[in-house]
Amino acid sequence: MKLFDKCPLCGGDVVEKEVDKLLKGNGNTAIVKVKAEVCLHCGERLYAPDVIAKFEDVRKRLKEGKIENFIEIGKSYQVA
Ligand SMILES: [Zn+2]
């Protein structure tokens, strides 16, 4: 089921894809694989409400350090 037939920003065609979403909290980063609808024209990603709720949950867990279920995949670096 598609959320959008056309991109709400530019009116471009939208396709469903699996994407990596980067979430940050408390200096830590988590990558979440989710389905998104991606605009072929401007690249805007559109998420379903349950996916957005999942992002909020992951951000909250990062902030509170409740990351027992998360898998460590390496360190993150910032390049100035
Ligand atoms: Zn667009």
pLDDT per position as a tens digit, 33-58: 999 999 999 999 999 999 999 999 99
**Sign of dihedral through CA atoms 66, 69, 71, 25?**
negative
Strand arrangement of the beta sheet that strand 14-25 belongs to: 14-25, 28-39, 45-46
| C-alpha 35 to ligand 1 mean position (Å) | 17
Report the predicted TM-score, pTM, of the whole model to 2 decimal places: 0.83
Neighbours of ion ligand 1 (CB under 5 A): 7, 9-10, 12, 39, 41-42, 44
Q: pLDDT at residue 70 above 80? A: yes
| C-alpha 3 to ligand 1 mean position (Å) | 14
| pLDDT, position 76 | 84
d(CA 24, CA 56): 10
